[in-house]
């Protein structure tokens, strides 16, 4: 594990902390390699019931390392590589966004501050987002004459619709966390003072959900974004029957009859 990424685990919650606070957690090679290793491992770990992505030092992630881009632009070593080679290399890295979006358990981005470019794309790839009210959020790409990566254009279009997504991508306007919440980019709005307390409560709530059923829900909802009604109905039926064979469902049905709260085990 790179020092640019800290991993913690407690009470079913795996937290990945991007750790380059001096650079507002801008992406480094070490950070992205560590994420590429950690995310699929956590997705397949039955002890993990929730995966959280956040940043150290009061920022989420400022996106790509623009200083590194500038250095590469003037480096002879970068010139022999073809566009196709560079694109294939980048595409391999962007599988992280797919994993956050598709893993069969909930994912949560906690945005305590600056969130820009590919950092915003990563936040949008998570199922849910908690944002501090004064966090500064921007697509940023047009400011450096880049078009965007890590799936942000897809996720933002799904969340906000084409017109608003185009506006935020073209202009790279900076919006605050409160505006992101109003638009629907974030699910939960908190103050910096209450962030720790709210994080503890929200992560425990999400970690206590029936993870097998949540995994099926994610597949249904992902299909709903791109498939037909018939395809969604087919998928829902198979997943509904499978989820009702789990121990979580059976114990929850008994708890419902007995008028007590269910306790889910992910089995």
Confidence at residue 256, expressed as pLDDT on a 0 to 100 scale: 80
Tell me which of 4-18, 55-69, 148-162 is least confident.
Answer: 55-69
pLDDT at 248: 85
Percent of the chain scored above 70 by pLDDT?
94
Mean pLDDT of 246-264: 83
**Predicted local distance difference test score (pLDDT) of residue 67:** 63
Query: Which pLDDT score is estimated for 75?
Result: 54
* Model confidence at 74: pLDDT above 80: no
pLDDT for 235: 83
Determine the Cα–Cα distance for residues 35 and 248; give it in Å rounded to an integer: 30
> Is the distance from CB of 61 to CB of 27 less than 8 angstroms?
yes
**For residues 116 and 58, is the Cβ–Cβ distance under 8 A?**
no
State the average pLDDT for the chain.
91
Query: Rounded CA gap, 179 and 164, in Å?
Result: 13
Provide the pLDDT for residue 115: 97
Query: Is the whole model's pTM more than 0.85, yes or no?
Result: yes
Q: Are 151 and 94 in contact (CB under 8 A)?
A: yes
Map residue 87 onto helix, strand or coil. Answer: helix
Distance CA 263, CA 24 (A): 39
- What is the pLDDT averaged over residues 206-213? 93
Determine the Cα–Cα distance for residues 5 and 32; give it in Å rounded to an integer: 9
Half-sphere exposure (CA, 13 Å, Cβ side) for 191?
Answer: 2
* C-alpha span between 53 and 222 (Å, rounded): 20
Q: What domains appear along the chain, each with residue ranges and CATH number?
A: 5-207 (3.90.226.10), 211-257 (1.10.12)
Q: Is the pLDDT of residue 37 over 70?
A: yes
Q: Could you tell me where the DSSP H helices lie in the chain?
A: 29-43, 66-73, 83-93, 95-102, 117-125, 152-160, 162-171, 177-183, 195-207, 211-224, 229-243, 247-257
pLDDT of 66 over the 70 cut = no
pLDDT of residue 70: 47
Instruction: Report pLDDT digits (tens) over 234-251.
Output: 888 988 888 888 888 888
Spatial distance between the Cα atoms of 80 and 83, rounded to a whole number of angstroms: 10
Contact 177, 186 (CB under 8 A): yes
**Mean pLDDT lowest for which of 15-24, 165-174, 238-247?**
238-247
User: Does the pLDDT of residue 198 top 50, yes or no?
Assistant: yes
User: Is residue 150's pLDDT more than 60?
Assistant: yes
- pLDDT value at 68 more than 60: no
Residue whose tokens read 């594990």: 1
Cα–chain-centroid distance for residue 116? Answer: 13
From CA 190, how far away is CA 160, in angstroms rounded?
Answer: 21
pLDDT at 106 over 70: yes
């Amino acid at each position: 594990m790179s020092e640019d990424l800290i991993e913690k685990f407690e009470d079913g919650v795996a937290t990945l902390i991007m750790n380059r606070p001096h650079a507002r957690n801008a992406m480094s090679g070490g950070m992205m390699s560590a994420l590429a290793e950690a995310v699929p491992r956590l997705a397949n770990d039955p002890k993990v019931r929730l995966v959280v992505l956040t940043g150290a030092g009061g920022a989420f992630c400022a996106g790509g390392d623009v200083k590194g881009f500038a250095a590469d632009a003037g480096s002879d070593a970068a010139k022999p590589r073809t566009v196709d080679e560079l694109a294939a290399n980048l595409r391999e890295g962007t599988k992280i966004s797919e994993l956050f979006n598709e893993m069969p358990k909930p994912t949560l981005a906690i945005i305590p501050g600056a969130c820009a470019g590919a950092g915003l794309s990563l936040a949008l790839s998570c199922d849910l987002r908690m944002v501090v009210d004064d966090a500064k959020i921007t697509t940023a790409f047009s400011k450096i004459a880049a078009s965007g990566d890590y799936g942000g254009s897809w996720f933002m279009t799904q969340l906000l619709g084409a017109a608003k997504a185009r506006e935020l991508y073209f202009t790279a306007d900076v919006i605050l966390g409160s505006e992101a919440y109003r638009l629907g980019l974030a699910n939960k709005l908190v103050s910096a003072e209450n962030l720790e307390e709210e994080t503890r409560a929200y992560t425990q709530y999400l970690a206590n959900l029936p993870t097998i059923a949540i995994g099926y829900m994610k597949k249904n909802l992902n299909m709903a974004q791109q498939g037909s009604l018939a395809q969604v109905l087919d998928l829902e039926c198979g997943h509904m029957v499978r989820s009702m064979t789990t121990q979580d469902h059976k114990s929850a049905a008994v708890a419902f009859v007995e008028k007590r709260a269910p306790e889910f085990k992910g089995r």
